[in-house]
Structure 1
């Protein structure tokens, strides 16, 4: 546990617990010390916050402080205790190249791979004028993140399958590297063009199709989803992403000028491929740490603090971490009092009992709400380009059937369009969700936070725009926490 510290702007005490890359506790006594400190402070509600991992301790501390400040009213008494969940990972900035700080973060995230990381940086920075050099990037990335099938992390490759279905790595690790880089480059170009024409993609609500005249595929959905009424995702950030045909590459040109233009596009895509492959590995790790590390820690806290309600909050990959922690408590006692996911880097079908595009099996997190005493609140925004555009491209799996549905629909993210495939899951605007007693007392609920989560530069868009008092109020409302 990090030493108990006081927020410099308030008298509110905050704590931290940390995990290593395998989900082990960085300090075996940290949960006991948090419990002792919370008991001494008379805390009735304990909020554990896991954000997307950052590249250095200074940034992590700053993000912790910004999150905690949202829950602070300047008083010493009352309100929840706040615990940061620290775990090893990283994020990329919007800059097109790799900085020294980013390379250092890669070395921390993938220890023992220094030479491979140096080779990757050399290729992405120098952009050699050969198509074969782009293919080398794909080879190096596969070596960087590959895991043996029996490795613990391999069980968290996707959110799109329960124990009935095998795990599968995304197609970007196995498809032609030029193919994948072309896809990223083209999607980013079209997204930028469309972003200049429209700021927001409205959500759609569809009525179920029933009877012999009903279509087997909904207007914008997949197969049996036509039988379910409710929210549908926003339109894709690019029309091209929503197309059902395979994302095939262009032929390699022979002319000198044309070849140069094609290579420039491929290298733009190669940088984004690097970002997304690393992000995939970090998300995979988040699931493993959540279920194998945080879940047992929550059990210890619940046992030590029987009169304290524990609430889980996660942002981005951190939302994946806390969601899998809740899954790890399905067979245990002392589950969380509420779970709030902000811009979650999870499949929007993760909680579905039945995946619309498959004959059997559900999402990896189906049934998680049963282990949560209160609601599972999923806040999302249509301004999140990281999840609306890049996540579905990066998540496509080997063996998909592209003729059925566009990549945005099948591989869409929870943080872009909310919970999908769960009967009876309401969708509320953020303003409506903050009305008194508006949130359900249990089960799943999607909250459209696009009104406040909207600021950010390409290619991530609003993915990191989560420091808003309205979102802190959403957490408090979900947990029925008195401030």
Structure 2
């Protein structure tokens, strides 16, 4: 249901709208009540905020308050009205293992699966000294998130064009569970070692490659970049991830003296497999809720508030939700005035009209900027290990394998290195983006926010380090919102 509250030190109003797991509104009258309240408050700009931290009501309220505080300067002012978008998502903490709170969040996110979740926790906690127990975890995870091919959510499994693939299931669900877990454990070890050696550069600069001896792809691995000078994406968190050869782990050492150590390594990777499988299901749900739930709600708000400008802001999987909401808008619906994506758990090729690794087909969100009156601002940070390291490993689909490029380029995340594959998309530092009139009035723009989005412990890194006044200023600048 919708609610109305006020920040403690200001009269700036804020509300919430809520969706269920199928994208339906939990209260059919909530949009009308928000519109009535916004009209009565004289709100000229309405900012809709979507994040993923809905583990429980207390966590949701805390994260909502932290986001809202970014737009509060302690005075009444003419700032925007704020609307939180609530939906059945969840996030994992950095602790290795399942706490009671995390188990409760899993039960809330996957209702009716209490027995299966209890079995999963039992295995993860006990770490049986059997390889078959690791395979059992894989089987339980498949059952937890599986959707029939005809189910509505199945259409939101990937942001990449999948016309050439027979299905769009993630390979981590169907590859050998032991091999997947070993790969995740190895990636985390490699990333930790490289992080201790040196700070990753936010970007590299390349000169155009021309002539008979010029490489066919740029150092970053994209064909369209080979003959273009300029910035390139962030380095991969580990060189192992950037390799063009398949990410194949070592063979399982049955009967050897290494079996005990191999099992410990596998169980270290099991928790990350659980996190990534659940995150995949949450991202899939976010896309469906955005297009089938939030998009119609935006239409209702636009119709009820013709003189109010609506702005969308999303973090993590919440960024996927608001991006798909724009895709779901009908032509007659007034589009949002701006869209700002913070550490978006989206493919960095999601907006590309043509995917450089395929002969045909584009990203799932190609062309959505045409439905936005202002810019689509994509803030990213190379300190985000969740998106820079784990997202590419979890995004590989059945039938895909890296050929000329590494996994970090083929399955990379928007929140790690910005928009890729879109001609003419500028890249700005956060400081430059906040100067007057620096942001374009329309189209896509990448903003390197690594200067402030940089704090966090492994394995997520800085993925949740987004509560900075500079990012609120970026939202205001994107929407041309006067404080």
Scaled to the shorter chain, the TM-score interval is over 0.9
Count of residues in correspondence between the two structures: 483
Residue deviations 1:229-251 (CA, integer Å, cap 9, x gap): 55422111011111111111212
Note if contact 1:225-1:356 (Cα within 8 Å) is conserved in structure 2.
no
Query: Hey, what's the Cα distance between the residues in 2 that align with 1:165 and 1:250?
Result: 27
Show the counterpart of 1:112.
112
Query: Hey, what's the Cα distance between the residues in 1 that align with 2:271 and 2:473?
Result: 37
Query: Hey, what's the Cα distance between the residues in 2 that align with 1:290 and 1:355?
Result: 23
Shift of 1:293: 0.2
In the superposition, the TM-score normalised over structure 1's length comes to 0.97
Deviates more, 1:374-383 or 1:116-125: 116-125
**Structure 1 residues 300 and 387: alpha-carbon distance in aligned structure 2, compared to 1, 3 A threshold:** same
Shift of 1:463: 0.2
Note if contact 1:231-1:420 (Cα within 8 Å) is conserved in structure 2.
no
Note if contact 1:433-1:447 (Cα within 8 Å) is conserved in structure 2.
yes
Note if contact 2:294-2:322 (Cα within 8 Å) is conserved in structure 1.
yes
Note if contact 2:200-2:235 (Cα within 8 Å) is conserved in structure 1.
no
Shift of 1:225: 4.0
Q: Tell me the secondary structure at the aligned position of residue 288 of structure 1.
A: helix
Q: Tell me the secondary structure at the aligned position of residue 164 of structure 1.
A: coil
Residue deviations 1:72-109 (CA, integer Å, cap 9, x gap): 12222311000000000111111111011111111111
Note if contact 2:2-2:33 (Cα within 8 Å) is conserved in structure 1.
no
**Structure 1 residues 296 and 167: alpha-carbon distance in aligned structure 2, compared to 1, 3 A threshold:** farther
Show the counterpart of 1:342.
342
Shift of 1:210: 5.2
Q: Tell me the secondary structure at the aligned position of residue 214 of structure 1.
A: coil
Note if contact 2:79-2:481 (Cα within 8 Å) is conserved in structure 1.
yes
In the superposition, the TM-score normalised over structure 2's length comes to 0.97
Query: Hey, what's the Cα distance between the residues in 2 that align with 1:41 and 1:156?
Result: 37
Note if contact 1:123-1:137 (Cα within 8 Å) is conserved in structure 2.
yes
Shift of 1:136: 0.8
Show the counterpart of 1:173.
173
Note if contact 1:221-1:232 (Cα within 8 Å) is conserved in structure 2.
no
Shift of 1:223: 3.4
Residue deviations 1:261-281 (CA, integer Å, cap 9, x gap): 110000011110000000000
Query: Hey, what's the Cα distance between the residues in 2 that align with 1:465 and 1:26?
Result: 30
Shift of 1:224: 4.1
What is the 5 A alignment of 1:368-383?
368-383=368-383
Query: Hey, what's the Cα distance between the residues in 1 that align with 2:457 and 2:244?
Result: 28
Shift of 1:212: 5.6
**Structure 1 residues 163 and 69: alpha-carbon distance in aligned structure 2, compared to 1, 3 A threshold:** farther
Shift of 1:316: 0.3
Mark the runs of 5 or more structure 2 residues left unpaired by the alignment: none
**Structure 1 residues 138 and 28: alpha-carbon distance in aligned structure 2, compared to 1, 3 A threshold:** same
Shift of 1:423: 0.3
Shift of 1:215: 3.1
Q: Tell me the secondary structure at the aligned position of residue 85 of structure 1.
A: strand
Mark the runs of 5 or more structure 1 residues left unpaired by the alignment: none
Q: Tell me the secondary structure at the aligned position of residue 341 of structure 1.
A: strand
Over aligned residue pairs, what C-alpha RMSD do you find?
1.5
Shift of 1:219: 1.9
**Structure 1 residues 322 and 182: alpha-carbon distance in aligned structure 2, compared to 1, 3 A threshold:** same
